[in-house]
Structure 1
Amino acid sequence: MSSTAASGGVVAVRALDPAARGAVVARLDRGTGVLEPARRSLRNGPVHLSTRAAAVLTSDKRRTELMVARGMGWKYAIVPLIEIHDDAAVGVPADVARALADEMESRGVREMTAVIAPLRAHADHLDAGGPVASSPLGRYMGLGGGGIISSLGGF
């Protein structure tokens, strides 16, 4: 299932794995600026988006994620952006990507790698009718945008 934005100032990020049946994996409270993952651990938990937070995109061959950490990286929250399931690329909807980018920019989150522009480019790409597989975020895992991984063929 893809992620969807909820009304009322809260953005609910839903699991990209169809087997998860749309379970919420993170919430962004636009009023307080808190990004809160559903699963918590000692280090994985709510992060306040502010100038003390840093954001990075992380990728491997099957997914691209947003990781936002506060302080020296002791506490972090991870949000899935694109994943491969059954040889199909699934990604967050445009409204979710745009909301994440807007909140990080307005609250002064530091980008350790380019984060805000790729999120907005992903949203614009989807709004223009482009498939997730050719999204600008896909290049981080070798899809679309000039990526070098060709094992997924039929995209």
Structure 2
Amino acid sequence: MRLTVNGRTHSIEVAPNETLATTLRYRLGLTGTKIGCNQAECGACTVIADGITIYSCSTLTHRVRDSEITTIEGIAGEDGTLHPVQQAFIEELAPQCGFCTPGQVVSAVALLNRNPKPTIEEARLAMSGNLCRCGAYDHYLRGVMKASERV
């Protein structure tokens, strides 16, 4: 099958029951997408498919074969320039252990792509699918609001 990830099309063989998270990590080497709970509950595996955030641990790869997928590796500029969300998260000391950070970044970018000027409640709702074992929710939320001033 063909799969478009971060603007590049890949021709790969995928088992019918293979999840997108497995394909990204183990076939394409995109290890920024984390497998946390593997039950679509924690958000560490969040990616963007055609502008919508999805949990890649519970999405079959074949289901998104015709979609444009964006992972954490596709967020920064090609020259390595950080996305405003990434920069704001650093400034707000949002990443602590860092395990949830890729999913948090991807969720925030998807929100700001849809709604560049969200209210704090809209941002809180958009980020609610991402669990943080360190409890840095307020840091991430402040980062989203700071990034919304820059996009």
- Both proteins in one fold, TM over 0.5: no
Q: Scaled by the length of structure 1, what TM-score is found?
A: 0.28
Bigger helix share: 2
Which has the higher relative contact order, 1 or 2, with Cα contacts under 8 A spaced 6 or more apart?
2
Q: Scaled by the length of structure 2, what TM-score is found?
A: 0.28
